[in-house]
Structure 1
């Protein structure tokens, strides 16, 4: 068992700090669609107009995202230039990077906590930070994962609050079958498998009867396409790779990442030229800082 900590009054800093809403996801997608490291505000506004957003709603969202630390801003003459935060960039790298599942060594790494209702915001913070580090909820007050991220977790949490505590420890199941059942509950495997089927059906429609990207629903507006893109992107971020010893060949995260790859291809076939043309129409297009080929994707 690890050291017991008291949780504190810094709970007003809610753990939702980095959660991507739909409009925030679409703002982030502009950087990926353009394969750019920095994009001026007017171009973000112009590109998202095709998604159905008003200029004022995009500007307000950009302000909120800067306040939340999701993006940074700097003045370039009369124009504001935006960049993605390191946290968001790391999520892109997680999606497109190494796809080797972790191993199962006969134990779960766990965080156990008790936080009173009076500190509900702090409880939300604990749960969210833990999720970002790969832990998932087995039952109320018990989070489990396959890697020891206790140091990172404790570093992002406060020290004391009246009536609350948390402890980082290990849980050793009595058998592999027990570990599989615990994983299925904590990581929502039944719902994940249903989502995989839904995404595969939706992508099959987009590929048409002959499986050619872009041939199904040829007049699909970009905003409706990003409805699907957002759902797949969120699934990729919410479902980490799991040990093969636990899930065998039924690895939901791999299926979600494959769906994301197919979504990227659909995007390039259908909308890449449209988005680049929209950016090129702006008088501040020269301020875009393009990434080399192979940079992060939408």
Structure 2
């Protein structure tokens, strides 16, 4: 399944580099070079790009002797959620829900379904119950294409009062735990911004090592309307800290990126 193939830090580096360069398409040679700067060997980078393309997470297009890549699948959806977060939909009185029942012998599918759902923005209310602000749509089509015959997956609606919906959201997305993590990240970013290496490649690697785990963490944050999120939610503060850190560090390697990725 595609989510199994694309797990791991190296796979996450690919959309990170697309975001950093600001380009919709990147040549394979530039991607491999940048992955090398971030600690991935050339052989491993080639294998990674090939696996992601086969899994539908990258779209590859050949131009003569050059192969260009674009993000696709779950990688593209996760990238879009970080880069262009949508405004929360108003509360209509119910969550969209996905109910599932998967026999233990098909546990890999069950785990894949949960991972894909979380990446798509669903929260895990309890085993077998996922909730979201919007309906299923096509967000889980990729993993559902591999659904075993014995597995059952049902779309549903979960009607709740505002108070109960806020309590359910706190559980489904572990908002108290995420808030604690966000505050730790803010302190880490403040300290890291004062320690930028002068070498462009070293600065790039330090930036990725610091920021990537934080960006992955932000994928856990739901887009919930006012009244369902805690009043003291630290999300805006974390995003401001990311902006300050990026402003301090990115200039150290901007010229290097431009020289490597310009046509």
Q: TM-score range by the shorter chain?
A: 0.7 to 0.9
Q: Distance in 2 between matches of 1:50 and 1:15?
A: 26
Moved more, 223-232 or 267-276: 267-276
Whether 1:206 and 2:192 are equivalent positions in the alignment is yes
**1:21-67 Cα deviation digits (max 9, x unpaired):** 31122233333332223222222222232222221111111111111
In the alignment, is the contact (CA less than 8 A) between 1:40 and 1:79 conserved in 2? yes
CA drift at 1:139 = 0.9
Q: Which of 176, 186, 196 matches 1:218? A: 196
Q: Distance in 1 between matches of 2:57 and 2:241?
A: 25
1:238 alignment counterpart = 220
Note the residue ranges of structure 1 that are not aligned, 5 or more in a row. Answer: 1-13, 208-215, 287-298
Change in CA separation of 1:167 and 1:53 when aligned onto 2, cut-off 3 Å? closer
Provide the secondary structure at the position in 1 that maps to 2:87. coil
Provide the secondary structure at the position in 1 that maps to 2:89. coil
Q: Distance in 1 between matches of 2:65 and 2:75?
A: 26
**Which structure: larger Rg?**
1
TM-score (structure 2 length as normaliser):
0.83
CA drift at 1:176 = 3.4
Q: Distance in 1 between matches of 2:163 and 2:139?
A: 28
**1:84-128 Cα deviation digits (max 9, x unpaired):** 226544443332335522222332221211110111122123323
What are the residue-to-residue correspondences of 1:1-298 with 2, within 5 Å?
14=1, 16=3, 19=6, 21-85=8-72, 87-97=74-84, 99-149=86-136, 151-152=137-138, 155-156=141-142, 157-158=144-145, 161=148, 163-173=150-160, 175-207=161-193, 216-219=194-197, 221=202, 222-251=204-233, 253-277=235-259, 279=260, 286=263
Question: Aligned pairs, how many?
Answer: 258
CA drift at 1:235 = 1.6
Change in CA separation of 1:227 and 1:101 when aligned onto 2, cut-off 3 Å? same
Change in CA separation of 1:147 and 1:265 when aligned onto 2, cut-off 3 Å? same
CA drift at 1:153 = 5.7
CA drift at 1:257 = 3.9
In the alignment, is the contact (CA less than 8 A) between 2:117 and 2:140 conserved in 1? no
Q: Distance in 2 between matches of 1:39 and 1:153?
A: 25
Change in CA separation of 1:219 and 1:39 when aligned onto 2, cut-off 3 Å? same
CA drift at 1:182 = 1.5
TM-score (structure 1 length as normaliser):
0.74
Change in CA separation of 1:165 and 1:46 when aligned onto 2, cut-off 3 Å? closer
Q: Distance in 2 between matches of 1:169 and 1:113?
A: 10
Provide the secondary structure at the position in 2 that maps to 1:36. coil
Note the residue ranges of structure 2 that are not aligned, 5 or more in a row. Answer: none
Change in CA separation of 1:29 and 1:145 when aligned onto 2, cut-off 3 Å? closer
